Structure 1
Amino acid sequence: MSPNPLPVRKRVGLVVNPTSGKNRGMALGIEVAQRLRAAGHEVLDLSDESFAAARDRALGAIAQGVDVLAVVGGDGMVHLGVDLAAETKTTLAIIAAGTGNDVARGLGLPVHDPVRAADLVTTGTPRTIDAICHVDAHGGRHWFAGVLGAGFDSVVNERANTWPWPKGNMRYNLAILRELPLFKAIPYVVTVDGVRHETRAMLVAVGNGPSYGGGMQVLPAARFDDGLLDVLLLHEISTLEFLKVFPKVFKGAHVTHPAVEIIQGRSVTLEAEGIMAYADGERFAPLPITLDVVPGAVTVLAPAAT
């Protein structure tokens, strides 16, 4: 029998969110770096005190040809990783250690298990997935991997982000309570592959993956590698009916409601007044916005198929 081949030594750029994992991110980053070095990889720590500085360092490392960009944190770090690695030769390793981890869960990656996730750099199988691209007015390309929200959810995010306290999901829950009595259906124009839809809606979401917000299955049929965007429209309903429908999103059971419409396409334009879209839980861009799916734009490391 031939001996097992030695693992390939890789240059790994590591970016850590120090506040992830209930502020254990820095310790997790050290653990991941040690694991990678023990496996024989070269590790470049690209983390920095500010998000912008870490991004700049990661961009430089990708330009110089790192094999793998490993991000440690939640969906916000995945968002950063996808934005940096899309349409490059750098493979993305997701070390999921955040609160929601929707992208990692959707891809079947280890969650809150940094050792198993780090080992995928050595043993994982490259998997190409789609990513969604928005080109801004200056020609800049911005990417995300999961779900973009541009309705009640984004209004709540805007409210929550103005509050320094409390932290985490409680701040979001309180923002829901604050916004819900005031919220009215929003007039939208939604154009999917050239077909124009005018409506008043409570919620509009565009997804490459099925979930956001820590497990809300807003687009349960969405797939990361089908070359399509899934677009959800929750048309105008009463506040009371909205309260009945909204909890069903955690199991994807909302899709049978008569006010819910799901459309698939490759290019989507959303138009509405005063709405800031959030993608992968991060502030993304104000409407109007055009989103295009790019098949196979990102390569991620995934567990080997069994």
Structure 2
Amino acid sequence: MTAGRERREIRRVVVLTNPAAGGGHADKAARRASARLRDLGVEVLNVVGADPDDAVRVAREAVGREVDALVTAGGDGMISLALQALAGTDVPLGVVPAGTGNDHARAYGLPLGDPEAAAEVIAAGTVATVDLGRVTTADGTVRHFGSVLATGFDSLVSDRTNRLTWPRGRMRYNLAILVEFANLRPLPFRITLADGTVIDRDLTLAAVGNTSSYGGGMRICPSADPSDGEFDLTVVHAMRRRRVARFFPTVFKGTHIDHPEVETHRTTALRIESPGITAYADGEFLGPLPVDVEMAPAALRIIVPT
């Protein structure tokens, strides 16, 4: 990442928490980080959203309080909510990673599993200016995202996970993968890039990366840079189940882009269409395709390690 950086004085922050994130670890992480921030002389106001809409409302209120940072204690879903309030403002995002995936934290080198260390990064006040993605869904809703937008096999797994009531936690996601793998089929896609290039063929998935990873470290767009003003698009052609089973482990290393069934593109905007398929970004449901995705350059300030 080559984002421009500046030093800011952090005196007053709002800490936004989702107590259920990370299997209930977020609340504990928020308390530990808040205590360390206070030790470092930072005034802390702790707030909790009753539901996702309320969390966005609380975040927007925090931005309007002239705080030096809005801090999330939780996972990528909580960061996604904060982005809806922070996009295009001068208030920086601070992150105390306490979710299951923590892909934003990985992208910016933030300390995992150590709320006190995360608090020290926030108090130090090194702020990077980075890009966001902006999505317009079929019903006209506009949302920002910071990591990866997923469609295809990945979004089908997320759909399945959301429908399952058993088991709990990560095992529910793993079960959803197995079920969708058994149902694997070619998915007809039409993707139109900003330069007019059209990808019209059967795919396994298409992922739009502002940063490189999703799903807790799967490097689906390994070269994505959140400060270069462009998305990295990874397109995986339709494959037989046996081939897919050998393919997916390579995603954790980012070497899947060397496979002949994978093509990559860079673009500032795109439209994705596929009947019956939904889109997720930062792990959160956006809506059914089609969606229009465009780059929002330098739309976010985020506190990063010095």
Could you tell me the TM-score, scaled by structure 1's length? 0.93
**Distance in 1 between residues matched to 2:141 and 2:119, nearest whole Å:** 31
Q: Aligned residue for 1:159?
A: 160
State whether structure 2 residue 299 is matched by structure 1 residue 297.
Answer: yes
**Distance in 1 between residues matched to 2:122 and 2:72, nearest whole Å:** 12
- Structure 2 SS opposite 1:220: coil
Q: Aligned residue for 1:3?
A: none
Where in structure 2 are there 5+ consecutive unaligned residues? 1-7
User: Is the 1:133–1:144 Cα contact (8 Å) retained in structure 2?
Assistant: yes
**Distance in 1 between residues matched to 2:107 and 2:213, nearest whole Å:** 8
**Distance in 1 between residues matched to 2:141 and 2:90, nearest whole Å:** 19
**Relative contact order (alpha carbons < 8 A, sep ≥ 6): 1 or 2 greater?**
2
- Give the partner amino acid of 2:121: L
Q: Aligned residue for 2:244?
A: 242
- Give the partner amino acid of 1:293: M
- Give the partner amino acid of 1:220: P
Q: Aligned residue for 1:233?
A: 235
1:240-279 to 2 correspondences below 5 Å: 240-279=242-281
After superposition, what is the alpha-carbon deviation per residue over 1:233-256, rounded to whole angstroms, capped at 9, x for unaligned?
111111111111111111112111
Q: Aligned residue for 2:69?
A: 68
User: What displacement does 1:232 show?
Assistant: 0.9
- In angstroms, what is the RMSD of aligned CA positions? 1.6
Distance of aligned partners of 1:189 and 1:138 in 2 relative to their CA distance in 1, 3 Å threshold: closer
- Give the partner amino acid of 2:183: L
Moved over 6 A (4+): none
User: Is the 1:222–1:229 Cα contact (8 Å) retained in structure 2?
Assistant: yes
User: What displacement does 1:169 show?
Assistant: 2.0
Distance of aligned partners of 1:283 and 1:139 in 2 relative to their CA distance in 1, 3 Å threshold: closer
- Give the partner amino acid of 2:117: R
- Structure 2 SS opposite 1:24: helix
Q: After alignment, is 88-97 or 20-29 more displaced?
A: 20-29
User: What displacement does 1:19 show?
Assistant: 2.1
Q: Aligned residue for 2:91?
A: 90
* Identity among equivalent pairs (%): 39
- Structure 2 SS opposite 1:46: strand
User: Is the 1:70–1:95 Cα contact (8 Å) retained in structure 2?
Assistant: yes
User: Is the 2:205–2:236 Cα contact (8 Å) retained in structure 1?
Assistant: yes
**Distance in 1 between residues matched to 2:65 and 2:136, nearest whole Å:** 25
**Distance in 2 between residues matched to 1:84 and 1:9, nearest whole Å:** 19
Distance of aligned partners of 1:302 and 1:53 in 2 relative to their CA distance in 1, 3 Å threshold: same
**Distance in 1 between residues matched to 2:262 and 2:202, nearest whole Å:** 12
User: What displacement does 1:178 show?
Assistant: 0.9
Q: After alignment, is 12-21 or 255-264 more displaced?
A: 12-21
User: What displacement does 1:140 show?
Assistant: 4.5
After superposition, what is the alpha-carbon deviation per residue over 1:81-132, rounded to whole angstroms, capped at 9, x for unaligned?
2222110111100111111111111111111111111112221311011100
User: Is the 2:9–2:68 Cα contact (8 Å) retained in structure 1?
Assistant: no
User: Is the 1:9–1:40 Cα contact (8 Å) retained in structure 2?
Assistant: no
Q: After alignment, is 290-299 or 78-87 more displaced?
A: 78-87
User: Is the 2:69–2:93 Cα contact (8 Å) retained in structure 1?
Assistant: yes
User: What displacement does 1:288 show?
Assistant: 0.3
- Give the partner amino acid of 2:39: A
Could you tell me the TM-score, scaled by structure 2's length? 0.93
User: What displacement does 1:162 show?
Assistant: 0.8
